[in-house]
Each structure stands twice: as C-alpha cells, then as structure tokens.
C-alpha cells in the first residue's frame, strides 16, 4: 500500500461519507438510505426478514491470511446466506465496524471494496451502519434485511417425517481451506523465510475466504414451485445443522455417508492432511450451503438440478439421529458444537 491516510483526519462523518460515496441503490424498496438517523424500507406488502451477525478479529477471522477485500465480501455474504435460508430475497444491509487506529483509510477502502462487490453481485443496498473506534482488533456487525411473499418463509421447525434431506453444492471445502491456512501460518511464524505454496489449493482457500450464498437455489425453488418443508444454512457444519432441524422439528433422521457431496479438491486435501473426508464434510463449517427438507413427491423436481444432493430423510424422533456409513455401520450423529468459550 503506497499511501496511508489516518482515519482521524476524516472525522466520523467524513469517514462514513468517504466509505459510502460510491454506493448506488439497487432496490426500489430502499426509500431512505445512509445519512439519517435510520433508513426507511418499503417492501410493498411483502414480509421483512432480518438477521444479524457479529464478526470479531481473532475469533472469526485472522487478518494474517484474510485479505480485507475478501473479508468485506464474506461479511456480507454470510448474512445474505441467512436470508436465503428463510427462502427470502435479501434487499438491504447495514454495516457497522469498530476499528483501532492501526487501520488506515486505505485499508478500510479495501474492506469496503469487498462489501461493495457483494452488494453489487447480490443486488442489495447498503443503507446504514455505524463507525466506531475499537480498543483492540477489527469488529464487524452486519444486519441483512430481505423480503418474502407473506407466508412463504421457511423455518427450521417444520420438517415432517419421511421428508427428504437435501444439501446444496459441496461441503467440507472451507474447513480444509482453514486447515491449510492455519498450517501455513504456523510454518511462517516458525520460519518467515518459507513462502506458502497455495498454488494448487485455490479451490479450498477460495471456499473459506470468498464463499457465496445460494441465491441460485432460492431462484430455482421459485421457478420450479418448490417450497422446502424446513431449511437452514450450513455455517457450523452439516451434522450440527441436521441436529438443529431434527431438534426444532422434533424428529429423527437417517443420513447416508456415501451421499455427502464433496469436491474432489477437498477430498484430495483431506487425504493430504491425513484427515477423514467424511468428518470434514460432516463437521467442517463455513460452507454456506443450504440444507433443507422437502416432500418426497417433490423429488422429480430436483433430479436434473446437479447442485442439490439428497443425503437422507427425516424419521420419527424415537428412531434417533443416525448416519449409515459406506461400510454398513450405523452411528449416532454428534455435533462438534460451537465452543469458543471452552477453547
């Protein structure tokens, strides 16, 4: 970076103006945008969907291997993913950041380039936020807002016995990208002369650093008149999310190991790191795919959609939450729970 402009030289309002001056609005629902006490949205008879996420440096991301532009992009995408997971279309976001003065205006510009790219790609408007000093580290808080035709939203708690469990795309890649980058970071810290070789690993690194939200699948549902019976996005890992759907719907499930969709690049990386691919697919988080259930009679509607795999079905609660392995064994599904506080 050639220039370094101190954040303090702009002041709060100068900074907000600087960061948001190139944002154009895409949505007719955006009535009042950045620059007032609050933004105003008119969803014209549709229901409004709201979700929020807090991302903290050192907890959710590591700036040692996360480019700021990617971080900006991902901060938006992970929130949009939650809106899609309600079978809704995201329309606006607010973005608040807390920054220490080790960040320059140029660094924030990079971050906002990523925010801007995600807003463009998903056609959402940045309508507000807050810019604050932090005592330590970079803090990001995003709220995403969307719209859904009244009653068409899809919750986690409404799966029925016999429903097919479906998964979009592939899983495990982001976790393997994280494993690789953490390994390279450790090598670098021990010996800064060694340059990381990420050449052949762009797939898994990309899955971690620049995930996409499954807008295409929600559009596919709309076009093919599919309303899933329950749905959520895969942020913590497939097994964790399957257990959520079961618990919130008061059902059990049967999952087939051989049906878990995994990219060849991710499978190869798992072998290289001496990890079990299935464990990566089940417990690796941050893939931002969608997991959903649907009625068996809708199966014909998805057979030609390569981005959707049927991985199992819902059962009675009493039948438990089981996975059937390739070897023919049956195990209970366990979640590698979120446990940042017990680390």
Of 10 and 198, the one with the shorter C-beta distance to a second copy is: 10
Please tell me whether residue 310 binds a second copy under the rule CB under 8 A.
no
234 lines the binding site for a second copy (CB under 8 A): no
In the range 158-217, which residues lie near a second copy by CB under 8 A? none
Please identify, among the stretches 45-53, 178-186, 221-229, 274-282, the one whose residues bind a second copy according to the rule CB under 8 A: 45-53
Q: Which of 4, 35, 186, 276 binds a second copy (CB under 8 A)?
A: 35
Flag whether 276 is marked binding: no
| Beta-sheet strand order (sheet of 308-315) | 230-233, 290-294, 164-168, 308-315, 252-256, 321-324, 330-332
CA 330 vs CA 1, 14, 138, 254, 321: distances in Å: 54, 60, 44, 9, 10
342 binds a second copy (CB under 8 A): yes
Where in 103-142 is the site for a second copy (CB under 8 A)?
127-130, 132-137, 139, 141
Cα separation, 216 vs 227, whole angstroms: 14
Nearer to a second copy, 44 or 258 (CB): 44
Structure tokens at 112: 């906002």
| Integer Cα distance of 284 and 236 in angstroms | 7
Contact flag: residue 62 with a second copy (CB under 8 A)? no
Q: Judged by CB under 8 A, does residue 143 bind a second copy?
A: yes
CB 251 within 8 A of CB 176: no
Q: Are 166 and 253 in contact, with CB atoms under 8 Å apart?
A: no
Dist CA 104 CA 309 (whole Å): 45
From the list 64-72, 77-85, 114-122, 264-272, the region that binds a second copy by CB under 8 A is 77-85
242-281: contacts with a second copy (CB under 8 A): 248
Binding residues for ATP: 112, 129-130, 156, 235
């Amino acid at each position: 970076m050639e220039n370094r402009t101190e954040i303090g030289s702009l002041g709060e309002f100068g900074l907000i103006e600087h960061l948001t001056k190139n944002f154009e609005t895409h949505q007719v629902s955006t009535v009042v945008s950045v620059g007032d006490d609050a933004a105003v949205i008119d969803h014209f008879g549709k229901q409004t969907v709201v979700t929020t996420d807090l991302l903290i440096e050192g907890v959710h991301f590591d700036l040692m291997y996360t480019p700021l532009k990617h971080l900006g992009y991902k901060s938006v995408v992970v929130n949009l993913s939650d809106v899609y997971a309600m079978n809704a279309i995201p329309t606006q976001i607010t973005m608040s950041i807390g920054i220490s003065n080790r960040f320059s205006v140029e660094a924030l510009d990079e971050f906002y380039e990523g925010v801007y790219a995600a807003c463009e790609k998903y056609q959402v408007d940045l309508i507000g936020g807050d810019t604050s000093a932090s005592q330590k580290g970079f803090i990001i808080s995003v709220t995403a807002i969307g719209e859904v035709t009244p009653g068409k939203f899809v919750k986690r708690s409404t799966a029925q016995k016999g429903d097919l469990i479906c998964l979009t795309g592939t899983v495990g890649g982001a976790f393997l990208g994280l494993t690789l980058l953490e390994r390279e970071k450790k090598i670098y810290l021990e010996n800064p002369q060694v340059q990381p070789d990420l050449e052949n690993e762009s797939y898994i690194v990309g899955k971690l650093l620049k995930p996409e939200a499954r807008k295409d699948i929600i559009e596919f549902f709309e076009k093919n008149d599919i309303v899933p019976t329950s749905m959520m996005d895969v942020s913590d890992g497939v097994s964790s999310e399957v257990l959520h759907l079961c618990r919130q719907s008061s059902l059990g499930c049967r999952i087939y190991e051989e049906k878990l969709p995994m990219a060849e690049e991710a499978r190869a990386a798992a072998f290289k790191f001496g990890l079990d691919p299935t464990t990566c697919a089940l417990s690796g988080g941050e893939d931002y795919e969608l997991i959903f259930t649907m009625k068996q009679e809708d199966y014909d509607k998805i057979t030609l959609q390569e981005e959707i795999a049927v991985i199992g079905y819902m059962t009675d609660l009493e039948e438990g939450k089981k996975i059937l392995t390739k070897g023919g064994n049956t195990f209970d599904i366990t979640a590698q729970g979120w446990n940042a506080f017990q680390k």
